[in-house]
Amino acid sequence: MCRHAAWLGAARPLAALINEPEHGLLKQSYAPRRQRYGMINADGYGMGWYEENPDPVRYRRAIPMWADANLPGLARIARSTCLLAAVRSATAGMPIEESATAPFTDGRWLLSHNGRVERDTVRDLADSAESACDAAWVAAAVFQRGHAGLGLGEALADVVVRAGEKDPGARLNLLACDGASIAATVWGDTLFHHRLHDGVLVASEPLDDLPGWQAVPERSLLTVTRDDVRVQPL
């Protein structure tokens, strides 16, 4: 499994997801509190954010988050109104390489997959992927639906439901953003959101112990815009 988090709202540094909160992704990389499968997320990490260019900036490494001496400085200065970051625990048999590490990207979309799925299940849903890992094929399937005209939430929901029907043991918690919205699915693991005065946090597990975190029900789609937070069944 993996852990991921995103922010939409007033400009914040990536550190707001990673090392500023008591239980940010840095802590979750070696001591997650709610992770149902696996105990450590040391197989890589990545983050994405939006600047003036329409497409996001992405930074990925195939090493543990705590092992990157450049991360604290980068996370402090990289700021955006839309952020996404993830730490990885690779599915057994999957490659450990940067191309297998979230976030995956296509155009304005960034995507992270927390879970596992049989690759043959998602290979039928996409033409190609940048890595042989299951998460890369999931991302490719979502992006292909985006090119076909589906919105961010619609694309996530279509892939998750189709893959989940073919692989009953799949865990398909997806988290994606496009610079103006966030969409996420809950299918086999935990997800929470927290509405603040200047935006919304979404994360696999709470980044702190402050009140206000709300669990998203199993088999649900969460969509977040500047004006609204919605949860609907898948």
Spell out the per-residue pLDDT of the chain, length 234, in tens.
799 999 999 999 999 999 999 999 999 999 999 998 888 999 999 999 999 888 999 999 999 999 999 999 999 999 999 999 999 999 888 999 999 999 999 999 999 999 999 999 999 999 999 999 999 999 999 999 999 999 999 999 999 999 999 999 999 999 999 999 999 999 999 999 999 999 999 999 999 999 999 999 999 999 999 999 999 999
Q: Supply the pLDDT for residue 38.
A: 86
Q: Kindly report the pTM of this predicted structure.
A: 0.97
* The residue to which tokens 């029907």 are assigned: 165
Environment class of 101 (CB within 10 Å of its CB; exposed 0-12, middle 13-18, buried 19+)? buried
Q: 177: which strand partners?
A: 110, 182
- Annotated catalytic residue within 2, 82, 133, 177: 2
Domain ranges of the chain: 2-233
Q: Supply the pLDDT for residue 54.
A: 85
> Is 177 known to be catalytic?
no
Q: How far is CA 40 from CA 58, 64, 88, 124, in A?
A: 23, 10, 9, 31
**Domain 2-233 indexed as CATH 3.60.20.10:** yes
